Amino acid sequence: MYKITGRRPLDGGRLKEFHVVFETNWRAGAKRMYLVGNFTSWFPGFKRMSRREDRAHASLFLYPGLYAYWFTADTDPQGFMDDDNPSVVELPNIMHPEKPGIKGSLLEVRPPEDPFEYVIHDERDPAYLHRFKGYIVFRLRTGKGVDQAELVAGKAFQPVFTRELPFERVFEFILEERALGDVFSYYFNVCSRGECLSYGFQGVGERVQPIVVSKKEVKGVEKPRWFMGTIYYQIFVDSFYNGDPSNDPPLKITRVSPREHGYYGGDLKGILLKLDHMAELGVEAIYLTPIYPSGTYHRYDVSDYLSVDKHLGTLEDFSTLVKALEEKSMRLVLDITLHHTGACHPFFVEALEKKSSSKYWSWFNFTGDPPSGVFDEALKLLRECDVKGFRSFIISRGFSRPFYESFFNNWLMPKINHENPETLIYFKKVAETWMRRGVAGFRIDVAHGIMDEWLRAYYAEVKSLDEDFLLLGEVCDYPFLYGEYMDSYMNYWLRYWLISTVVLRKHSLREAVEMINLQISSHPHHQVLSLYNMVGSHDTKRIKTLVKGDKTVLKLLTAIYFTLPGSPAIYYGDEIGLEGGDDPDNRRPMPWEVEKWDLEIYDTYRFFINLYKSVEELRHGFADVRICRGDVLVVERRLERRLIGLFNTGDRAVDPSECAGLAGFKEIASSTPGSKIPPLGFKIYLESKEA
């Protein structure tokens, strides 16, 4: 069952999000239980439930929206619905828009009917008040019933942007920092159907006490960090290029299209030898899937966090690559698995061997003891990291689920017990080691499955070492609970709403705009710029395959995601039209024969990368997203100048003047020549400096 028990209180008696309490029966034999939902990417681990007698409890603060949830025991991905809630809903499969939705128990949170009961501003939350490049941004969040708002800070200011969300509206005010004193006070006027009241420190009223803030306490950045608007290139290392055949694994795949599971032979020297390709493309940061020793070709089952897999090269090879990247002004981001280790990791092997007498026993969540005697043979295989032999052993003995929590019940990926503080100390040292080796950040695998308080502590510890070190989380659905735990996340949210709307036609453009605005309004601007915006990754179908080879659609998607705020990311091969289906076919080897490249697609990527790097408004500008005529997506970016992108998702041509006033603007990009925007076409305009 769930109950909405009220709303989070703020200073002065104001109210914020809704407090939702979840409760269910404790499952017999379970050691741990978890609350799972679209708010945890449908994955257990982030929200552990507490036990009170025979009941499990958890709570969240949520904004209005439609949610789905269930409960799991000991991270079994096969959860169970809420027995006390008969309502079931199917919500989108954010990571895989081409697949059916996901069903769960329905949770619906709506704003109060009285519009003046739902007005929110939290000066301590950077999503509502932050600074960026000489500006201070104020946001006010309301229900749809509030139709006008103004900011009173010395004088009255009208909102620069008004964003429509699914159940709410956000008014955004952007003031030059120099216009405000070292200590400034402000309040808002809000109107609904002609009735106007004010909102200040104590909430809504006729004569309100202003909110008083010291400018030095306003969070944000004056100079954007490197990851706040950068261009990524993701490499699945084994599939990129084999630069050193002497370190090849003994067995390699023979079928590459469609790709098989198994080693192809890509390595660090291969990346080094192909750096010119990335430099010519215009890439600024490279993200590598795991490079650590492991027992598989994908290397997400790590056996040593401080070294390099022998089939990829050596630490010396790694150092050579880092130096070469520095010479080309590129940064390096490594994938890291903080959710689980590999079964070959010596900590896990010792825990299996010595059981509760091992200091590493409490590093993992064992649900029972290893089968006595039987597992001796398995230990030998794990010490040798013979993954194939270990799998055969498991099958031959008829074992089903592991006797420890793991990633999707995978025997090779035992889950780390994040309640053990030693794990935090260790992984801080891991981060420190790779920082010294020249790494600029980590992409955290399965971040949505890591305990919330551990993630928070890890973020603080790493940032205490280096504020510029990026922490980029894998979060696959409703990512808005994760803002304080990481700098950025993989933007599957944006990818879903673009592909499901433009390509698959599963949603209206209006729905997509509301969901994109929900994302923009839920984070401070500098964090929005940090979002890893992509149309594909090593876990999804290739974008050219999804659009069925339609290059008109592919160009439209590329234009949109290079214009929206965030950091555009290219999955290796997408830039030359590489195709591929589900895992592992989405990891086909990169073809290096230019005659196999789709040069039309390659030129499109190069054009938009150059445009992004040459127009400051695209890299760092404030953003507004709206809809015109029902089928035209309008994206406005604003800094010193205004930039307007018009993207026609409909089936008839559009006159740009229908959707924007363009006096003083010049066209800087267009899908086709001519004055109109054709179906699935676009035009982008930039305000002239004289205007």
Question: Do residues 91 and 66 lie in contact, with contact meaning Cβ atoms separated by under 8 Å?
Answer: yes
Question: Do residues 134 and 176 lie in contact, with contact meaning Cβ atoms separated by under 8 Å?
Answer: yes
φ and ψ of 672, to 5 deg = -150, 155
Which tokens is 130 given?
Answer: 């932050």
| CA distances, 334 to each of 135, 317, 552 (Å) | 33, 15, 33
Any idea which residue has 């074992």 for tokens? 399
Catalytic residue selected from 474, 487, 514, 687: 474
* Cα 98 from Cα 49, distance rounded (Å): 32
Which tokens is 98 given?
Answer: 């081409």
Question: Do residues 498 and 625 lie in contact, with contact meaning Cβ atoms separated by under 8 Å?
Answer: no
* Cα 431 from Cα 459, distance rounded (Å): 11
* Cα 46 from Cα 450, distance rounded (Å): 5
Kind of pairing, strands 155-157 and 161-164?
unpaired
Which tokens is 537 given?
Answer: 């990754």
Catalytic residue selected from 122, 317, 445, 514: 445
Question: Do residues 418 and 450 lie in contact, with contact meaning Cβ atoms separated by under 8 Å?
Answer: yes
Question: Do residues 328 and 279 lie in contact, with contact meaning Cβ atoms separated by under 8 Å?
Answer: yes
Q: Which residues of 515-545 are buried (b: 16+ CB within 10 A; e: fewer)?
A: bbbbbbbbbbbbbbbbbbbbbbbbbbbbbbb
Which tokens is 278 given?
Answer: 């990335």
Which tokens is 149 given?
Answer: 């708002």
- Does the active-site annotation cover 474? yes
Which tokens is 500 given?
Answer: 């499901």
φ and ψ of 101, to 5 deg = -70, 180
Active site residues: 445, 474
